[in-house]
Amino acid sequence: MRRRQSRLRRQNSRPAMKLLDGKKGLIIGVANNRSLAWGIAASAREHGAELAFTFLNEALERRVTPLAQSLDSPIILPCDVCSDEQVDALFSVIAEKWGCLDFVVHSVAYAHGEDLANRFVDTSRRGFLQALEISAYSFVSLAKRALPLLKPQGGNLLTLSYYGAVKVVPNYRLMGVAKAALEACVRELAADLGPDGVRVNAISAGPVRTLAASGISDFRQLLSHFEARAPLRRLISIEDVGSAALYLLSDLARGVTGEVHYVDAGFNITAV
């Protein structure tokens, strides 16, 4: 009995296994400490990953830099995903400093406020193209640049979607179309890059009070409806998303690609 207790104490004293130990990842899309991308970054760092971060402009640089520094990030660079020059420069620096990548997390989406406020049929051509470019094509663009750096038989691309990609969500409008395109990109990229040993997946997260969500009308009502209908009867957190991302980015999910993984307390399985 004593020998068994001693053995258990030794096992409990061992450090927990770090699922991303020694891996290097690029996080694109952190806005603040309530971002889904931040939940993923914090979880990845806790499990041993070394991370690089990007920011869009000076205002976001002031928010992102201290967060990235708190996770000991050695690379913090500007990146407008609509600028080929900035995207090329980003991956050039990563290639120079690291030489390789294990994963890229894409958490970028945008639609003009007017196109979200008006009926979908009134969506402007310019707004439609801009939303698709930033929210969906940017994932393809990043994948193309990342591919030469991603490690064979272990590279990962992960993006963030939402239930509005498959169902009409009030006031989500153009973003629903953009997310539907993004999920199609996940499948096409997974088929393309599978022979290279690169896995491509998405997390479809339930609604969270983020900076991006502030642009959706009646968001509080959406949260209330979600919480009442979800089987777990609760909202999700950025930590929930971070934990799911940890699984998808780790070798535990080595047989998973082309998937849209729901982290929404079960909301997607229910009927209206």
Is 162 assigned a catalytic role?
yes
Phi, psi of 248, deg, nearest 5: -65, -30
What distance in Å separates the CA atoms of residue 171 and residue 270, rounded to the nearest whole number? Answer: 20
Write down the catalytic residue from 110, 162, 163, 262: 162
Sign of dihedral through CA atoms 238, 240, 245, 251?
positive
Q: Annotated catalytic, 110?
A: no
Contact between 35 and 107 under an 8 Å Cβ cutoff? The reply is yes
How far is the C-alpha of 105 from the C-alpha of 85, rounded, in Å?
20
Q: Where are the beta strands (DSSP E) in the chain?
A: 24-28, 50-55, 75-78, 103-106, 155-161, 198-205, 260-263
DSSP string covering 115-184: HHHS-GGG--HHHHHHHHIIIIIHHHHHHHHHTTTBPTTTEEEEEEE-GGGTS--TTTHHHHHHHHHHHH
**H or E element that contains 84:** helix 84-97
State the catalytic residue, choosing from 110, 163, 172, 262.
172
Distance CA 164, CA 169 (A): 5
**Residues with catalytic roles:** 162, 172
